[in-house]
Amino acid sequence: MRSFRSQQDPECGIVTTGIPGQIEELNLDPSAPILPVQRTGRESISRFLRSETGKGWLTISPPLLYAMLLLIGPIIVIVANSFWSQDYLTIDRTFTLENYRAALTEPIYRDLLMRSLFISVTVAFVTVVLAYPIAWFVSFYGGRYKGLWLFIITVPFWSGYLLRILSWKVILGYKGVLNTGLMHLGVITEPLSSLIYNVNAVIITLAHSWAAFAILPLFVSLEKLDRSLLEAAADLGDGPVRRFLRITLPLTIPGIIAALMIVMIPTVGDYVTPKLVGGKDGVMIANAIQVQFGRASNWPLGAALAVSTMIIVSLVAGTIVLALAGLKRLLK
Amino acid sequence: MRFLPSPRRLLAVYVILYVAILYFPVLLLPVFSFNDSATPKLPLVGFTFRWYESLAGNAAMQGAAWNSLIVGVSAAVLSTVLGICAARAITRHRFRGKGPASALIMAPLILPEIIIAISLLVVLLGLGLQLSLVTVILGHLLICLPYSVTVLVSGFEGFDPSMEEASRDLGETSFGTLRRVTLPMLAPSIVSSLLVTFTISLDEFILAFFLSGTEPTLPVYIWGQLRFAAKLPNVLSLGSILIAASLVLLTAAEIFRRRAERKMELRP
C-alpha cells in the first residue's frame, strides 16, 4: 500500500508521501522497501530539507499544519461524532447510524435540508444572473478603473455581515422602512405582512449579501476571454446575441461554475439570515444544527446534520457542474 | 426607434441601479442612527446625537470593543505571519503536493462557517479548553488565512526573486535578506493583509458566537442586544461606527495593495 502511494523524489532519491509529518517517520523506517540507497535518517532528512520539494514543504508547513490541526482534525472528530450517540451527559461511542436515519428521514430535518438547498441554489443562480452584466461591464468598459470598480462593488461584502442582515430586517419589517414609507406615500393603508419572516425575505437578504462575491470569479473569466474571437465572429456576421451564446457564454462557464459554488456552498449553512428575517417559515438547517450544539445538547445528531448537509450540497454542486459542462458542449 | 436607449446605456443604468441597491442597506443604518425616534421608520422625524451619546457610558459595549480589538489584532498578525509562509512556498517553490496543500489552506473560504464553528467547538471543549478570546482567535485565524494568502501571493509575485539572490550573493545571511530585502519589498502587501484580516475579524459573527464563551466581541454583543427592541437605536449607532471603521480600514488596505501593484509595474 505504501509503495503504491509513495513517489520517488527525483532530486534526492528519498520517499515522500506528500504529507510533511510523515516524511521523517518514513525515512527512519529501516524496512522501507524502495529506498535506493541506505542512508542514515539524519543524512536523508537534511538532504530532503535542502531539496526543492523539502524547502517547499518546510516553508508551507506552519500554515498547513495549522489548517490540518484546526480544520481537518476537527472535521474528522465531527464525522466520528456523527456515528456515536448522546447518553444524557456522556457520549456513547458505539457505532450507530441512528443519527443519519433521523437526519435524513425525520420530516422536520428533511424539510429543513430541502429548504436550505432550495434557498442556496436559488440564491446562487439569482446572484450569478444579476452579477454577470456587472462583471461584463467592468471587464469590457472598466478601462483604467477596473480595480476601482471591483473595490466599490466588493466593499459592502466586506463590511458588517450581521449589520447588513439587520438592515434588511429594518427595511422589510412589519413596521419597517418599506411599509411605513409606502403608507406615508399613501400607496398602501395597512402594512404588508408578506415582506418579512418567509423564504423570500431570506433569499433577498442572502442574494444581496453575496452579490459582490459572485462578481470576482465572473470578472476573472471574462478577463481571460480572447477579444479577437468576438471580433472574428462579428466579422463573419454573427450578431451580439449569437456572439454571446456561442463565444462569451461557453468560454466563461468555468467562471459561472466558480461563482455558483462560492455562493451556494457557504449559504446553505447560513445561520443569521434565517434567524433575523426568516421567521418560522424561513428556518434553515444551520438553526437546527445550532440547537443540537446548544439547548438540545445532542452533539452526535448535530454532527450528523452537519455532515449530511455537506454531503448533499456537494452532490448538488457536482450535478450543477456536470450540467453546465454539458451545456458548454451543447453551445459549442 | 430613436427613443429606444442603446444597449450600452441600458447596461450603464443597470450598473448604477445595482451599485445603489448594494449600498442602500449599508447606508440605511447610519441614516436611522441619527433619527430622533425609538424605532426606525419613515418619515424621518429629526436629527439627534443621543444614540451615540448613550454609547459613551456603556461599559459592556466598551468591553466588547476591547475584546474585538484584541482578537482582531492577534488574528491579523498571526494570519499575516502564516500567510507569508504559505505565499512564499506557493510563489517561490515548486514541489509535489503544492496544489492540495494550498487548497487545504484556502478551504475555509468556501466552507459554511457553521461547520467550522461546530467542529472547532467540539474539539476545543473535548480538549478541556475553556472558551475565551483565545478560542475566538484560533477560529478567526483559520478564516483570515485565505485572505492573507491571496494578498501576499500577489505581493510575492510583484517582486523579482533575483533581488533576494543578489542579497545572498553579496554576503547577507538568510535572516538579513529577509529583514533587509524581502520584508521591505513586501511591506505594502503586509500592511494590506493586516488591515483586511483585522476587518474580517472585526466583522465576523458566527465563529465568535460559538467560541467566545463569556467574553463577547462587538458582533456578539450586538446580537445579544437585538433581543431588546428598545436597544435598537443604540445598535444602529454602534453598527454605523463599525461600518464606518470597516470602510476606512478597507480603503486603506486597497491603497496599500495598489502601492504593491505599482511596485510590480516598475519591474524590468
ipTM surpassing 0.95 = no
Q: Which residues on chain A are in Cβ contact (under 8 Å) with B258?
A: 147
pLDDT in tens, B245-262: 999 999 999 998 888 777
Q: Give the mutation candidate from B29, B31, B81, B95 for the A interface (greatest A CB count, under 10 A).
A: B95
The verdict on B173 touching A (C-beta cutoff 8 Å) is no
CB–CB of B167/B177 below 8 Å?
Answer: yes
- What is the band of A218 on the pLDDT scale with cuts at 50, 70, 90? very high
Taking only residues 110 to 129 of chain B, the set having a beta carbon closer than 8 angstroms to any beta carbon of chain A reads 110-116, 118-123, 126
- Res B30: pLDDT: 87
DSSP at A281? T
Contact assignment for A159 to B26 by CB distance below 8 Å = yes
The verdict on B153 touching A (C-beta cutoff 8 Å) is no
- Res B4: pLDDT: 60
pLDDT of B232 higher than 90: no
Contact assignment for A63 to B83 by CB distance below 8 Å = yes
- Res B150: pLDDT: 93
Mean confidence (pLDDT) of chain B: 89
Over residues A261-277, the mean pLDDT reads 94
| Count of CB pairs separated by less than 8 Å, A with B | 240
Most confident of B7-16, B39-48, B53-62, B101-110: B101-110
Over residues A23-48, the mean pLDDT reads 58
Of A18, A271, A299, the CB nearest to B97: A18
Taking only residues 15 to 44 of chain B, the set having a beta carbon closer than 8 angstroms to any beta carbon of chain A reads 15, 18-19, 21-23, 25-26, 28-29, 32, 39-43
Q: Which residues on chain B are in Cβ contact (under 8 Å) with A130?
A: 18
Q: Where are the alpha helices (DSSP H) in B2-132?
A: 7-33, 50-56, 59-92, 98-106, 113-126
Three-class DSSP category at B145: helix
CATH code of the domain made up of A99-331:
1.10.3720.10
Of A63, A67, A78, the CB nearest to B119: A78
Among A173-177, A199-203, B98-102, the least confident range: A173-177
Q: Give the mutation candidate from A113, A129, A158 for the B interface (greatest B CB count, under 10 A).
A: A158
Strand partners, B35: B47
- What is the band of B50 on the pLDDT scale with cuts at 50, 70, 90? confident
Q: What are the backbone dihedrals phi and psi of residue A87, each rounded to the nearest 5 degrees, phi first?
A: -120, 85
Q: Cell for A216?
A: 470576482
Contact assignment for B102 to A310 by CB distance below 8 Å = no
Taken in order of first residue, the domains within chain B and their CATH numbers are 24-265 (1.10.3720.10)
Gap from A327 CA to chain B (nearest CA, Å): 25
Of A63, A141, A299, the CB nearest to B85: A63
How would you class A41 by CB atoms within 10 Å of its CB: exposed for 0-12, middle for 13-18, buried for 19 or more? middle
- Res B47: pLDDT: 84
Contact assignment for A159 to B247 by CB distance below 8 Å = yes
- Res B103: pLDDT: 94
- What is the band of A155 on the pLDDT scale with cuts at 50, 70, 90? confident
Distance CA A198, CA B230 (A): 24
The verdict on B226 touching A (C-beta cutoff 8 Å) is yes
Gap from A38 CA to chain B (nearest CA, Å): 23
Residue B83: name the closest of B151, B15, B160 by CA: B151
pLDDT of A156 higher than 90: no
CB–CB of B141/B75 below 8 Å?
Answer: yes
What's the per-residue H, E or C state across A3-52? Answer: HHHCEECCCCCCEECCCHHHHHHHHHCCCCCCCCCCCCHHHHHHHHHHCH
The secondary structure of A98-124 as a DSSP string is HHHHHHHHSHHHHHHHHHHHHHHHHHH
Instruction: State the Cα torsion A266-A114-B208-A152 to the nearest 10°.
Output: 40
- Closest residue, chain A, to B250 (C-alpha): A155
- What is the band of B108 on the pLDDT scale with cuts at 50, 70, 90? very high
A275-306 burial, b if ≥16 CB within 10 A, otherwise e?
Answer: bbbbeeebbbbbbbbbbbbeeeebbbbbbbbb
- Res B27: pLDDT: 87
Q: What are the backbone dihedrals phi and psi of residue A47, each rounded to the nearest 5 degrees, phi first?
A: -65, -45
Of B18, B42, B101, the CB nearest to A134: B18
Contact assignment for B142 to A184 by CB distance below 8 Å = no
Domain coordinates of chain A in residue numbers? 2-81, 99-331
Mean confidence (pLDDT) of chain A: 85
- Res A20: pLDDT: 44
- Closest residue, chain A, to B196 (C-alpha): A158
pLDDT in tens, A99-127: 999 999 999 999 999 999 999 999 999 99
- What is the band of B164 on the pLDDT scale with cuts at 50, 70, 90? confident
The verdict on B92 touching A (C-beta cutoff 8 Å) is yes
Over residues A80-88, the mean pLDDT reads 88
- Gyration radius from chain B CA atoms: 23
- Distance, CA of B161 to chain centre: 29
Q: Which residues on chain B are in Cβ contact (under 8 Å) with A132?
A: none
> Quick one: what percent of chain A has pLDDT higher than 90?
52
